[in-house]
Structure 1
Amino acid sequence: MSLLELHARSLELAAGVVDTVQPEQLVLPTPCAGWSLRRLLEHVVGRHDGFTAAARGAGPDLALWRDVPVHGDPAGAFRHSAARLTTAFALAAAARWPAPLWLPEILPGRPVPFERAVGFHLLDTLVHAWDVAAALGPPDRLTAAVEAEPQLARTLLAVAGAVPAGPADRAPGRAFAAVRTPRDTAGPFERALALLGRDPAWALPEPVR
């Protein structure tokens, strides 16, 4: 599969997770510290729109990367914005030499080669899909679905391994925490999460009795 096909597959798997979110679950906490499920999904949809604008040739305008309200239909907001992004990536890729993309929320100050930008969003999609799945319950089904497609799992792990991991890159308030040591038995998805500082064992806090 091409990178664009793998990216489309990542969106399809993520949409399957978001489809299960019920309105009353939007208040649940997520592995993204301090973020409710609603806030996480609004961030994800905003990222879709930001990457869409970038693929259409927008410059380094952070206003194009704002979170987008999902109201009571997170699945609809996710799928509609993902469809726009898939179309924008396909049109950009059709150029003989796809132009680099400005991603001011991710790498400010310089544009990013097209394929690297697509890889970034594939990573973003699958990791945030895992965040959503973990907030709803054990994310085992998503992990298994990704790892059942070795090329997708390898791509996820490769992109995660390329994310800068120096102290300044993983400082408090940055997108990813310090690299964790995965279990010896960890599969590629768990190893990717560990590279990004996610705790693969994260679970909802027990309710106070």
Structure 2
Amino acid sequence: MLINDLLALHHTAVRTSVEIVSQVSADDWGKPTPCSEWTVADLLAHMTVQHHGFAAAARGEGGNLAVWEVRPLGARPVAGYAEAAEDVLAAFAEPEVPQREFDLPEFGPAARFPAMQAVSFHLIDYVVHGWDVARSLGLDYRLAPELAEPALRIALAVPDGESRLKPGAPFGPALAADDEDPLSRVLTALGRSPKR
């Protein structure tokens, strides 16, 4: 796959997450999510800062740890999330991005990845976190058809094993998939149960 094709898919995943988050209301902040120990408010704070962090990384500033610090949501959390999504989409659209390496300190000190891999990380996060928010709100989540095969390929490439048991691990250990639906397979590969 070419980087521009991946960026187009990433755009779809992020836009879908914005549509879902736009349905969050003040009554939803305390609801539990499929992310262990996170409420909807916690999840949205994480999703918002990750957009800003990856935007900074796309601009060559990902090594600044301050951009990765989770902050309180503020008075307009849904609008703040949409603005953060616009920030990362604009950053990823900059012409230098395909040749750039991304500093992603959350993966470890001096962790640096080529654009293709970094965009893949962000894409799969927002496929899964879009589903997380939808599930928390009792909404349907539909994986865009063009995302099905690439998202599954990315999900299956995420290493499984002991690292997924550590506190703060983004994904739990892989679960057995009981059907061939691409979204179900993405979720189970990343430790989410589609039926819970």
Q: Same fold (TM over 0.5)?
A: yes
In our comparison, the structure showing a higher alpha carbon Rg is: 1
Structure 2 partner of 1:2: 5
1: distance between equivalents of 2:36 and 2:19?
23
CA gap of 1:186–1:74, structure 2 versus 1, over 3 A, is farther
Structure 2 partner of 1:125: 126
Aligned-residue offset at 1:74: 2.8
Identity of aligned residues (%): 36
Provide the alpha-carbon RMSD of the alignment: 1.7
CA gap of 1:40–1:191, structure 2 versus 1, over 3 A, is same
SS of 1:200 mapped into structure 2:
coil
1: distance between equivalents of 2:132 and 2:157?
20
CA offsets 1:12-56 (integer angstroms, 9 cap, x no match): 111111010001210101111111100100000000010011011
1: distance between equivalents of 2:119 and 2:158?
14
2: distance between equivalents of 1:155 and 1:178?
20
Aligned-residue offset at 1:61: 3.1
**Equivalences for residues 73-88 of structure 1 within 5 A:** 73-88=76-91
**Equivalences for residues 25-104 of structure 1 within 5 A:** 25-91=28-94, 94-95=95-96, 98-104=99-105
Structure 2 partner of 1:153: 148
Q: Which runs of 5+ in 2 are unaligned?
A: none
2: distance between equivalents of 1:33 and 1:96?
33
Aligned residues: 192
2: distance between equivalents of 1:192 and 1:181?
11
Aligned-residue offset at 1:7: 0.7
CA contact 2:175–2:191 (8 Å) conserved in 1 = yes
CA gap of 1:96–1:84, structure 2 versus 1, over 3 A, is closer
Moved more, 104-113 or 116-125: 104-113
Aligned-residue offset at 1:9: 0.7
Q: Using structure 2 for the length normalisation, give the TM-score.
A: 0.91
**Equivalences for residues 159-198 of structure 1 within 5 A:** 159-167=154-162, 169-173=163-167, 174-183=169-178, 185-198=179-192
CA contact 2:54–2:62 (8 Å) conserved in 1 = no
Q: Using structure 1 for the length normalisation, give the TM-score.
A: 0.86
